[in-house]
Chains A and B, each alone.
Chain A
Amino acid sequence: MSIRRVALVWLLGAMAPSLAWADNPLIVEAALDREVAAPLLDAFEAAHPHIQLTFRDRSTLEVDARVADADDPPDVVISSAMPWQMSRVNEGYAQRLDSPAAQAWPEWAKWRDEVFGFTFEPIVMAYRLDLSRHMMPPKTHADMHTLLTQHRETLRDKVTTYSPSRSGVGYSLFQQDARYTTRFWDLVTAMGAADTNLEANTRSMLEGLSEGRYWLGYNLLGSYAMVWAQSHPEVIVQVPQDYSLVMMRMAFIHRDAPHPAAARAFLDFLLGREGQRVIAGETPLFSVRSDVVGPYTAQRLRDQVGERLYPIPLNASLLAFVDPSRRTAFMDRWQREFRRLSQPAPAQGAAITEPRIDKSPKR
């Protein structure tokens, strides 16, 4: 990729030294793996050779912190931590995008025409093939609870999921789970009882699965997991059959973007037919648009999984997730439930992995 870009840059520079491409930088702060997004970025650079794209891949919390950096604001902010993105937009950090692509974007995947959910990533379970030798792999959340209850000892220390304190995405997913069913807390109790390992990102969970440390993973980002499974046949991805959350990466143009024109071009590309076609065909991020064809489209996912996809709603209710007191209350309950059936004095496990170092990841 970088060679191609350098070559392209060199070519352009040689052909037209007067071209002002160097004056068209674009800084994108993204909580999005560079490897996953590479085809998309390449396609953008090909379409806009005069824009010099700087793509910084960071964690959600880092991205969130960069938004408020008044001295060096980024042009475009992309993150999967939906409540935090939403909160920044509510604070007024985004600027409106009035382009045909933005206008055509489905209402459920945008807010105020300022922030856009441009991917459609199902939240999945993943298990190692070893699991199926001992028990029926789970297909639903209820299956998961049953397995954890019935095979607690077998699964002890073999289950992994997000740490709600260390991952904004994980926290958001658990909040959303809790909104859908109160039985979620039974699942948390069961996971706590099984000494579930809490990881900061999907990659760690997948690595653990491949290495054999974990047999079962809960609430992984489907996009990453599916790519991983292609090259790691020991890992099986299961989209929950009762309901499957869908996470959207949210992108907005920073209010103080130093290069607003390039930023608009980037977002238009993301939302446009071409960008979405690349998303659908060359990344596992899944295209939101119904008019593009490829292996990874929301439409195709729906066809496979049925109507039990529950996209996390892109609206003001997300703001409640970042409310400090609500977060504290949620974390308190999480820890309470997580510890309920675990040993009173665990040497290691959930309680230790959840030290009260949690500050708001926002600030």
Chain B
Amino acid sequence: MRLLVIEDDPLIARSLEQALTPLGNTVDVFTHHAQAREALQSGQFDLVLLDLGLPDGNGLTLLAELRQRGDTTPVLILTARDGIDARVEGLDLGADDYLAKPFSLAELEARVRALLRRSQQRADNRLTFGPLAFDAASGVATLNEQVLDLPRRELLLLEGLLLHAGSITPRETLENRLFGFGDVGPNALEVYISRLRKRLDGSGLRIRTFRGLGYRLEEASL
């Protein structure tokens, strides 16, 4: 993967480079918009990490230019400003995610991974998370390359969780997916979750419950 980091603070820029390179990425770092703009116009990147506060202009302008060109490269905005307005504006202009400084490197890595995975999925129409994979075209789920023979609702549930793998899938989303928009009892979903949990037992993956919020497919080590 080829990442473009636009960040003027040398300390942060070096940290980013050092943190992201070991994940198997090539990282180009620019400290000015003008250089970054040139690089974006000439090269192909898989992810852009964009600092909004650069000495030669607002990062949002660069983002807007990028999207106007029809470039759908995922963009993760980094900023010291955590005002909701800047955040909304950034997302409106087509940023894919937003991370306020200070952030922990672990969180950054998780976000980057998620964005890269999403970009990958868009590319090959396959959902994967660790040993788990789902081919949306054929409707076949595999765990450690073994085909999982799942009933329709469990398959739908698995796909729903995989779509948001690494982050919480809202309960309402899963309920709608499984039962349509009709009224269902509070425990109906829980039944299918526990069935799926059993199937994933020992695979290194687990489904964590967030009370009142939803479920997250995550690696068991977390």
A–B contact, 8 Å CB criterion (strictly below): no
Interface residues of B (CB under 8 A from A): none
Interface residues of A (CB under 8 A from B): none
